[in-house]
Amino acid sequence: MPYTLLARRLRRYLLPLAALIVLPSLMRAQVGATTDIITGVVRTPAGVPVENAQVEAQSTETQVTRRQRTNAQGKYTILFPDGGGTYRVTVRYIGFQPTTLTLTRNGDDDRIVRNITLGQSTAQTLARVEVRGTQRRQPQGGPGGPPTPGASERVVDGGQAARLPVDASDPSAIASLAPGVVLTSADTSGGGSAANFSVAGQSSQSNNVTLDGLSFAAGFVPQDAIRGTRVTTNTYDVARGQFSGGQVSQTTRSGTNVIQGSLSYTGRYRDLTVEQGGTTGAFGGAYNQNQFGAGIGFPIIKDRLFFFGALQGRRKADLLPSLLAADDATRSRLGASPDSVARFLSLVNGYGVAGAGGVIDDNRNADNVTALGRMDFSVTDAHTLTLRGDWRLVDQTPTRVGSLALPQTGGTTENRGGGGSVVLSSRFGTAVVNELRAGLQIDNRTGTPFITLPLGRVQVLSDLSDGTQGLSTLQFGGSTSLLSQSDNTVFEATNETSLLLDEGKHRVKVGGLINQTGYTQDQAFNRFGTFTFNSLADFEANRPATYQRTLASPERTGHTTNSGIYIGDTWRPRDGLQLVLGGRFEASSFSGAPGRNLAVDSAFGRKTDLIPNDAAFLPRVGFSWSPVQPANANGGNPFGNGALRISGGIGRFRDAPNTQLFSGAQTATGLATGEQAIFCVGAGVPVPDWNGYFANSASIPTQCEAGGPPAQLTTARNVTTFASDYANPRAWRASIGANKRIFGRMSLNVDFSTARGEAQTGYRDLNLNTTPQFTLASEGNRPIFVPASSIITTTGAVPTQLSRVDQRFGSVYDVNSLNKSKQWQGTVSLGGFTSRGAIINTSYTYADAQAQGGVGFGGAGGGFGSATTAGNPNDREWAQSSFNRKHNIIATVTHPLTSSFEITAIGRFTSGSAFTPLVSADINGDGARNDRAFIFDPATAGDAELVAGMTKLLSTSGNAARTCLQAQIGTLSARNSCFGPWQPSFDLQLNWRPTAFKLDRRLTFSLVTANLIGGIDQALHGSNNLRGWGSFTQPDNTLLYVRGFDPATNRYRYEVNERFGAVRGNQTGIRLPFQVGFNIRYTLGPDQTRDRLRAVFGAPAGGRLTGEGIANGVGRFFPNVPRQIIEARDSIGLTDVEVGKLQLLADSIQVQVDTLTAQARAVVEKEGGNPDPAVLFGVKLRPFFEKGTRLRTAGVDGAKAILTAEQWTRVPERIKTPQGFGGPGGGGPGGGRPPGF
């Protein structure tokens, strides 16, 4: 990026940053990323608030300690950025014994509220043991910030992701593990978008990806730097904005008080690949990939200054799939017969361009390097400063070569980027918490074609060996998209001020956001032109049907500003009920509007220099409610059936501005300084001189051939305007769900949600004369907008300029916000663990999504694609959403085989995507290739070729395609009326964590499968009858290819694509093979889970867990309540009679406690000195905790019956409140069970 440009942008970004620093009370952090707030009141046994008590909290994950003294009201508030959610809290005050307890943020808490009562006698130290495993609907805080009432989320920490057969560094891959999330791209590698998924039927453009609380579109950071990923599909927190679909929040690891980190290696090898269907080489899909990663964190100054850094490098090498690399069988599967390809190659060679570009390497390499560094400085116990920087590089060569294209049509891509962020977390007193975040990301992308030639496209009809006819398009020449350069910057700053009121019952949040996204782009589609030939015969005669080229596309520079403010309250009116309510106001503007074209203003009443500002108010309310608090509401029986929990909400959401939409309009003004293109048909098409173009690119035609009819020479400029009320897409979202733990170990969730999209982007072509010039009687009276006499009879090409209202211009697009969408879905999920320790998460989602229009980007003029049409393309009509999948089943399983081996699996079964039968070219004259096909009835078609083609297609196509066509015979096809087949996927990972050589399970060897379901497909059905399992191939949606036009009958001449709807494995070119790979991961530093268990059960860090330690630990978890009450007899005021009754009860309970501890000792000793926590506590010791909790509850009930009501009020809260496996503070409905089970 030029220095002056960078300096100019930095000046623009520093001003809003300064404003945020001056006005922190008005601005807010995106979500409060991972900062925990611990608050409460310290009181004496008599209930008097204690002033100046020392409250000390230590994170069990980072071992970092924060301290604060209570104020005059006894209140304390401790702020913990990236604390991990579990804390050991100790309270000290002169005259009282220290009180120690462990607090864990549970359920949908956005803060930890714990009021502490000091005791006169020695306080009992209780601890909550956490064994991470499954993810429940109500997540335990974690990455991405604490959840809020009504939220539907899935949390996957870095360790869990590494144990599953999934790319842990890919946000979209992690997002796909959440119920109802649909992947919109099977491959997100190479530095592309990080949000290639759909939520609630919305476009992937409606999603938001954040890193440490700030927007992050780059898509990847080192895997060893990722602390965790949170996938949010529903939320009613007004702090979250800039999306109406879903949000993926990733957080990075920080340094801690202990040295910790990881080393990782991932390997995929061609030699460990089973290629499907006998396909080998480039189309077999085999590849080599080596990825090395490392991350290390350590303290520079204990409790004050920490550093964490990570580096990752990956190289993927495979063979380039191209027309030259394909064997005859592969070419046939792609619809091109070997003799047709041979003739095509001979003709290309004859034109002298076969060797253009030199020898292009058949090996394709993709390099991906990324680094991240982070510094955390605890300035004081009240202020923490975090600095983070990242850098990335992505290169790929060759790239963008089609399966039926010569390698010369491709080129290379380079992506360089990086950025940094600063976070300041502050506490002011005990009631005010503030978080300020600011970050800048810079991204540079360059594309370079191999040669500067026009692209040649040759449509070929081939007789294939299976008796069918294949239609394909073979390509040679240059690239239409790779000559490009773009510089993008994203500056974002957020601030949040939280007020903790009424002893933490209210958390009022006031905040704001500013996001500035800037770009400089030098790119244009089809800069060197494209010649299209309708047949090999036309190619041999050098007689193209059309020629089109973008002549000029000026550099585009601009930026959008999106800002927001909000206020909200998370309120706990009583136990079991939480409410979140508030409102958010967002506004956006664009800088860099194009010049005004007065001719457009006069002809259409639209201003080309108008890109409207947009603003919206976004109210939201959410709740979570447990109608009945169970007996274990404060940590009772951790394995019993939990209380019913109901949650839901309603809110309005809004997308961030789409800069791609605005940049496309900057050059489409119709002015001489704007973008200009030519489109030539018939006699106006220049005769190609391929040798001349290669020798001198300046000789590539810049105008249509002189002498042809004016209608065949289109040089008018396209125009893009915006409606005055244009707005960013937004949606109303609502949900209701219920959660209940059943059978002691499983959690059942039933959720319903709906979305109503409003202000969805659409457009009209104001310059299209929508009055038909004639209709096609043979195609259901399809309207045609150009005269029949103007259509080229030999090719069927249409001179689109004759459909224009004002022939000075081409298409004049009016971008508006008139489209709508609607979606509802229901999800049933079941998760938990089995009696053998297997962790299971399963879900089934049924969804129905309808949408108007169907705009895309990067297609026809103005930067748009076109909604398919069978009539007036400016009309809006409802149809199935392209992003919807009616049925979506997903399951993840982790099963321990032994103490060192475990197997994990991910399985999916998704119904097919919707698609529309199309015609290969523009036939209605509106200027876009968006015409839906007419489904001809073989019995009445009249044309012999149509009859033969449709007859064969209906008899040989797959069930889904045949059913779709038969249902619409004799009619124009409806949008998204066909569906592809169901898509299954299944992958396994075997993890071995040896305990020998003092490895202590720090080293993990993993055997990973990729596309295991594809291997099963081949094993079951053979190479010649593959079902295409695991391939995720999009169906071929072109039904009819145009071959000419008969003016006598006003009918187009078509050829039927007999491969319409093809997705079966033996009908696709590129195969996704079954592959086996290896992962190796070594963790440095302490194992937090094990060290927590060791501390609880009396073993030193790094020491062995023993039966005696476990037995003593169990005794601490389930102390004798009557005996504790006797010890406090003086403060309670017990009589001798009452003490005698309590002693009898205590003796009876102690016998049973002793029996339990003896049995626990035997179990632990049998498991050895280094047991697996998930197996030990989730399976082996579970029955003892169940019995112990019942004993403690019985002790409380029995003691309460002996004491008077007044005496009972004097019993310390730590004694009379049953605390199960989790200790004080582990509460919440169902609290006390090991998290993750």
CATH (domain of 222): 2.170.130.10
- Within a 10 A sphere around the Cβ of 1152, how many other Cβ atoms? 16
**H runs (alpha helix) in 1078-1222:** 1088-1096, 1107-1117, 1121-1127, 1129-1132, 1136-1167, 1173-1175, 1182-1202, 1205-1210, 1213-1216
Say if residue 84's pLDDT is above 80.
no
Contact 532, 681 (CB under 8 A): no
Roughly what angle, to the nearest 10 degrees, separates helices 959-967 and 944-956? 130
> Of the ranges 16-25, 52-61, 565-574, which is most confident?
565-574
Q: What is the mean pLDDT of the chain?
A: 84
* Strand 901-910 versus strand 918-919 pairing type: unpaired
Q: Is residue 928 part of a domain?
A: no
Say if residue 245's pLDDT is above 60.
yes
- Within a 10 A sphere around the Cβ of 456, how many other Cβ atoms? 27
Two structure tokens written together for 1175: 């197996």
Identify the pLDDT of residue 1: 45
The neighbouring-strand residues paired with 55 are 68, 91
Q: What is the pLDDT of residues 1106-1129, one digit of tens each?
A: 555 655 665 566 678 888 888 888
Final residue belonging to a domain, choices 224, 253, 282: 253
CA distances from 1 to 14, 202, 394, 560, 1000 (A): 18, 34, 17, 19, 49
Q: Is residue 501 part of a domain?
A: no
Q: Which of 1067, 1072, 1065 is nearest to 318 (CA)?
A: 1072
Q: Which of 683, 840, 812, 824 is nearest to 748 (CA)?
A: 840
536-540, 648-652, 1066-1070: least confident range: 1066-1070
Q: Which of 1067, 1059, 989, 1055 is nearest to 1026 (CA)?
A: 1067
Three-state SS at 1164: helix
Residue at 1225: amino acid letter: G
585-599, 658-672, 777-791, 1190-1204: least confident range: 1190-1204
Higher pLDDT, 792 or 1131: 792
Identify the pLDDT of residue 389: 97
Q: Which of 312, 441, 314 is nearest to 389 (CA)?
A: 441
* Strand 226-234 versus strand 152-157 pairing type: antiparallel
Q: How far apart are CA 932 and CA 1039, in angstroms?
A: 9
Q: Is residue 162 part of a domain?
A: yes
Say if residue 145's pLDDT is above 70.
no
Q: How far apart are CA 1178 and CA 342, in angstroms?
A: 65
The confidence band for 1223, taking pLDDT boundaries of 50, 70 and 90, is very low
Phi first, then psi, for residue 273 (nearest 5°) are -125, 135
Identify the pLDDT of residue 1096: 56
**H runs (alpha helix) in 260-316:** none
Q: How far apart are CA 402 and CA 283, in angstroms?
A: 12
Q: Report how many domains make up the chain.
A: 2
Q: What is the pLDDT of residues 488-534, one digit of tens each?
A: 999 999 999 999 998 888 999 999 999 999 999 998 889 999 999 99
Final residue belonging to a domain, choices 220, 253, 286: 253
Mean pLDDT of 1161-1181: 68
- 1091-1096 contacts: CB < 8 A, separation 24 or more? 1092/60, 1092/86, 1092/127, 1092/129, 1092/130, 1093/129, 1093/1173, 1095/127, 1096/127, 1096/129
Q: Rounded to an integer, what is the distance from CA 847 to the centroid of its chain?
A: 18
Say if residue 17's pLDDT is above 90.
no
Q: What is the pLDDT of residues 979-1000, one digit of tens each?
A: 988 888 899 999 998 877 777 7
Q: How far apart are CA 1010 and CA 329, in angstroms?
A: 24
Q: How far apart are CA 315 and CA 1119, in angstroms?
A: 57
Two structure tokens written together for 1025: 């009858």
Q: Is residue 240 part of a domain?
A: yes
The residue behind tokens 């990455």 is 143
Identify the pLDDT of residue 1179: 66
Q: Is residue 29 part of a domain?
A: no
Identify the pLDDT of residue 1236: 33
The confidence band for 575, taking pLDDT boundaries of 50, 70 and 90, is confident
Q: Is residue 187 part of a domain?
A: yes
Say if residue 419's pLDDT is above 50.
yes
Final residue belonging to a domain, choices 211, 235, 253: 253
Mean pLDDT of 912-930: 92
Q: What is the pLDDT of residues 950-966, one digit of tens each?
A: 999 998 887 888 999 99
Q: What is the pLDDT of residues 468-485, one digit of tens each?
A: 888 889 999 999 988 899
Q: Is residue 174 part of a domain?
A: yes
Q: How far apart are CA 983 and CA 721, in angstroms?
A: 40
Q: Rounded to an integer, what is the distance from CA 1098 to the centroid of its chain?
A: 42
Higher pLDDT, 688 or 1072: 688
Q: Is residue 699 part of a domain?
A: no
Identify the pLDDT of residue 1068: 56
Which domain range does residue 211 map to? 152-253
- Exposed, middle or buried: residue 1078 (CB in 10 Å: 0-12, 13-18, 19+)? middle
Three-state SS at 1195: helix
Two structure tokens written together for 272: 């460990």
